[in-house]
């Protein structure tokens, strides 16, 4: 730290999040919605609130760390066909941390291959499932940052950046749910070192910075780096904005779809099946970072309930389910239809 450096606490350069804005807009729609769309909005509010709660936990830890640093929350970056939605960028005197926040229900195991397995209970049923690796997700964020920096026309700067990128930029996944138990005893060290609980974040930042051989940033440099990231932020291109428009568009179709569901309700206990199928669809779409209707749309869901397939072969007779989709999702869908999931 230079003799003229006076920063001795965290500075929040951007605190508002797209999640909060999304929640406010959803609540405005909630009173106007009905039927399936109203149910969907309620589900979205619940899920988004869980994510917001987790990010708030991480923000609290950062703000109360006492570490001189600049904090940016919910930053969206784009270059060419690449994009990254980063939960937190933390600029310290030694290292720039890219923080991926996960507020997961249940406990997390990381095996020797780096797979993430979530264990939780739903309706008294113990569920064990693999989830998309948040480390892989955050690594993609780093690649976007690397590409943005490489876009500089200064050849020397590019070479210097490539040489010191891994030293200056660190990825960390923070489990924000205080009830989550992390079991990483079989994980490789390079994986284990990148996943921590929220209450370990301040100590983790201090340890990483203490081990870094990078030259320290002064107050001016830290602020300039943080402001450059903020200038690159594109606030109106988040997944939440797309989701909101999708929900808003579906409101006009809600009445006819709801009436169709009510007609068949008594035959197959549809209310329960629809809830479980929608929950599965939403979970997989978030896990794979795709739109829910890519898993199956509402008409395909109703065809599922109407035909009640009992095998993967029969599932392929349902609208929208070919061999690939049946192989990928079939086992779980069949369990849901049998009431075993």
Q: Which residues contact 294 (CB under 8 A, 6 or more apart)?
A: 285
Torsions phi, psi for 127 (to 5 deg) = -120, 135
Q: What is the DSSP letter of 198?
A: G
Residue 195 has pLDDT above 90, yes or no: yes
Specify the pLDDT at position 236: 63
List the single range of 183-187, 234-238, 288-292 with lowest mean pLDDT: 234-238
* R_g of the chain computed on alpha carbons: 23
pTM tops 0.75, yes or no: no
Q: Please report, rounded to a whole number, the percentage of residues in the chain having pLDDT higher than 70.
A: 84
> Which burial class, exposed, middle or buried, applies to 57 when counting CB atoms under 10 A from its CB (0-12, 13-18, 19+)?
buried
In order of their start, the domains of the chain are 10-239 (no CATH), 269-337 (1.10.150.80)
Torsions phi, psi for 87 (to 5 deg) = -65, -50
Specify the pLDDT at position 238: 63
Listed residue (76, 130, 131, 82) closest to 102, CA to CA: 131
Please give the C-alpha separations between residue 184 and each of 91, 115, 137, in angstroms, as whole numbers.
27, 10, 18
Length of the chain: 341
Average of per-residue pLDDT values in the chain: 82
Confidence of residue 205 (pLDDT cuts 50, 70, 90): very high
Q: What is the DSSP letter of 138?
A: H
Residue 203 has pLDDT above 60, yes or no: yes
Specify the pLDDT at position 292: 83
Question: How do residues 115-163 score in pLDDT, each as one tens digit?
Answer: 999 898 877 788 888 888 999 989 889 988 888 766 555 554 455 456 6
Question: How do residues 24-36 score in pLDDT, each as one tens digit?
Answer: 888 888 878 877 7
Specify the pLDDT at position 64: 95
Q: Would you tell me how many other CB atoms lie within 10 Å of the CB of residue 159?
A: 10
Question: How do residues 234-284 score in pLDDT, each as one tens digit?
Answer: 876 666 666 777 776 766 555 444 434 333 333 335 667 888 888 888 888
Question: How do residues 60-92 score in pLDDT, each as one tens digit?
Answer: 999 999 999 999 999 988 887 778 889 999 999
* Helix ranges (DSSP H) in 64-178: 134-150, 155-168
Residue 170 has pLDDT above 80, yes or no: yes
């Amino acid at each position: 730290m230079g003799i003229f450096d006076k920063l001795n606490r965290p500075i929040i350069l951007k605190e508002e999040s797209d999640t909060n804005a999304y929640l406010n807009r959803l609540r405005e729609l909630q009173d106007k919605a009905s039927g399936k769309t109203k149910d969907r909005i309620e589900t979205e509010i619940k899920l988004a609130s869980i994510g917001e709660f987790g990010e708030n936990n991480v923000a609290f830890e950062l703000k109360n760390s006492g570490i001189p640093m600049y904090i940016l929350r919910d930053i969206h970056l784009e270059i060419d066909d690449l994009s990254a939605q980063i939960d937190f960028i933390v600029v310290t005197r030694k290292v720039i941390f890219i923080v991926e926040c996960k507020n997961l229900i249940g406990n997390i195991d990381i095996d020797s291959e780096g797979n993430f397995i979530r264990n939780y209970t739903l309706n008294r049923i113990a569920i064990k499932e693999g989830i998309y690796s948040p480390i892989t997700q955050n690594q993609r964020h780093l690649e976007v940052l690397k590409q943005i920096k490489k876009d500089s026309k200064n050849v020397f700067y590019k070479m210097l950046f490539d040489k010191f990128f891994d030293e200056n930029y660190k990825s960390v996944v923070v489990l924000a749910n205080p009830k989550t138990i992390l079991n990483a005893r079989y994980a490789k060290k390079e994986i284990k070192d990148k996943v921590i609980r929220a209450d370990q974040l301040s100590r983790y930042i201090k340890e990483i910075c203490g081990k870094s051989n990078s030259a320290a940033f002064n107050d001016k440099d830290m602020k300039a780096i943080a402001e450059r990231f903020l200038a690159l932020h594109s606030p109106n291109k988040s997944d939440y904005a797309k989701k909101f428009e999708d929900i808003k568009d579906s409101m006009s179709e809600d009445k006819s779809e709801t009436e169709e569901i009510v007609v068949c309700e008594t035959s197959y206990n549809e209310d329960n099946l629809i809830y479980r199928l929608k929950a599965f669809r939403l979970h997989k779409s978030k896990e794979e970072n795709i739109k829910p209707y890519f898993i199956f749309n509402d008409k395909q869901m109703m065809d599922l309930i109407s035909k009640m397939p009992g095998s993967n072969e029969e599932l392929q007779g349902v609208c929208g389910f070919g061999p690939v989709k049946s192989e990928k999702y079939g086992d779980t869908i069949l369990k849901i239809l049998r009431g075993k999931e």
